[in-house]
Structure 1
């Protein structure tokens, strides 16, 4: 994601991934639904016909990753959670 690559990934919400901040399907990643793979590939084929959308997605993906998972942001989140854990 940080390199502007668009990940092809199981759908985060559908498959119950737990992350502090979830990416948006079809904006930050290409979601795969194992129960309906053909619809994913149909939509992917549409996306491949539109280089400007792919470029927009790559930029949005990188910006999202930097905003929520840059090492400094991740470190701050870990420290905040550790402090909250010690207080609780």
Structure 2
């Protein structure tokens, strides 16, 4: 069976987000913040880091669900260039 739960790119993005969150939480705890503040800081950093690394890491072009650049689907414009078709 060759079915994977996550692609390598997804696993990398989530791992980098987790490591960022843990590092931020540990640094907050070492700086004198309480446990609750450290957990909240780590969770916030992990959430932001996943979005950041999702845009930073190149999309997996071999995956069938890969989306083109900037998440916009490719459209086939058969009417030609819109600026030149004005007439």
Same fold (TM over 0.5): no
Where is the helix percentage greater, Structure 1 or Structure 2?
2
Name the larger-Rg structure.
Answer: 2
More strand by share: 1
Q: TM-score, normalised by structure 1?
A: 0.31
TM (norm. structure 2) is 0.31
Which has the higher relative contact order, 1 or 2, with Cα contacts under 8 A spaced 6 or more apart? 1
